[in-house]
Amino acid sequence: MIPARTIFRALPVSGRTFMRTYATAASTAPPVQLFGVDGTYASALYTAAAKNSSLDATSKALTYLKTLLDKDADISGILSNPALSASDKKIVVETLSKSVSVPTVANLLAVLAENNRLGLLSEVIEKFGTLMSAYNGEVEATITSAAPLDSKILSRIESAISKSQFVGAGKKLKVSNKVNPDILGGLIVEVGDRTVDLSVSSKISRLNALINEAV
């Protein structure tokens, strides 16, 4: 994993400079610990943005980029292309940077390109969203189902989770529904770092395990 302190190089912004060292002050430290390479980039970005008082601007810029990636599969394909030349990477970074005009995001794109990690952009954006939710006192809950849930069922699940021990006092619950036909039925409920697997596929797996043990 790349150490966070090595991710952001010096970047002049309005007479100030983002230093290479990873800030350790509590006011700029990520509110929750993330894992994986994408988590490392997201955490370093959060610290750089917090240090420059541009968390909201950075978040809005990343949301805009995520919309572009979701709408245009060609852009995602280009970013994920391992054979992208240095000159092509430069063009991609410059084009995306100009579309948002936020220095922290421009620097992130440049570092991802330099390390051949542009394909991780969507994942980094998602992890940064997790940090911003924690910063804003939100608790994220992801409900995975085999088919989209209607609003009434989703509302009932949201109400049940909000009253549970998973959501602390004064916290705001943010619920999203993810569809994955592979779970066959039932639900997988993820609240923060906790997971409750009530899917049919999980039950079948446990049943198969019991059968194999009995044979």
3-state secondary structure of 136: coil
> Quick check: 126 pLDDT over 50?
yes
In this prediction, what percent of the chain has a pLDDT beyond 70?
85
In this prediction, what percent of the chain has a pLDDT beyond 90?
40
pLDDT score of 78: 87
> Quick check: 179 pLDDT over 90?
yes
pLDDT score of 148: 93
Kindly indicate the confidence band of residue 75, based on its pLDDT and cuts at 50, 70 and 90: confident
Q: Which two tokens stand for residue 167?
A: 């959501």
**Residue 187's beta-bridge partner residues?**
145, 198
DSSP string, 47-100: HHHHHTT-HHHHHHHHHHHHHHHHH-HHHHHHHT-TT--HHHHHHHHHHHHHHH
> Quick check: 18 pLDDT over 50?
no
Kindly indicate the confidence band of residue 26, based on its pLDDT and cuts at 50, 70 and 90: low
Report how far apart the first and last C-alpha atoms of the chain are (Å, whole number). Answer: 42
User: What is the C-alpha separation between 25 and 183, in angstroms, rounded?
Assistant: 43
Sign of CA dihedral 32, 37, 38, 44: positive
pLDDT score of 201: 87
3-state secondary structure of 186: strand
pTM > 0.85: no
Is residue 120 within 8 Å of 112, Cβ to Cβ?
A: yes
pLDDT score of 215: 62
Kindly indicate the confidence band of residue 3, based on its pLDDT and cuts at 50, 70 and 90: very low
- Tell me the pLDDT of the chain averaged across its residues: 83
Give the mean pLDDT of 40-51: 95
> Quick check: 96 pLDDT over 70?
yes
> Quick check: 11 pLDDT over 90?
no
pLDDT score of 51: 93
User: What is the C-alpha separation between 41 and 49, in angstroms, rounded?
Assistant: 12
> Quick check: 44 pLDDT over 50?
yes
> Quick check: 121 pLDDT over 70?
yes
pLDDT score of 195: 87
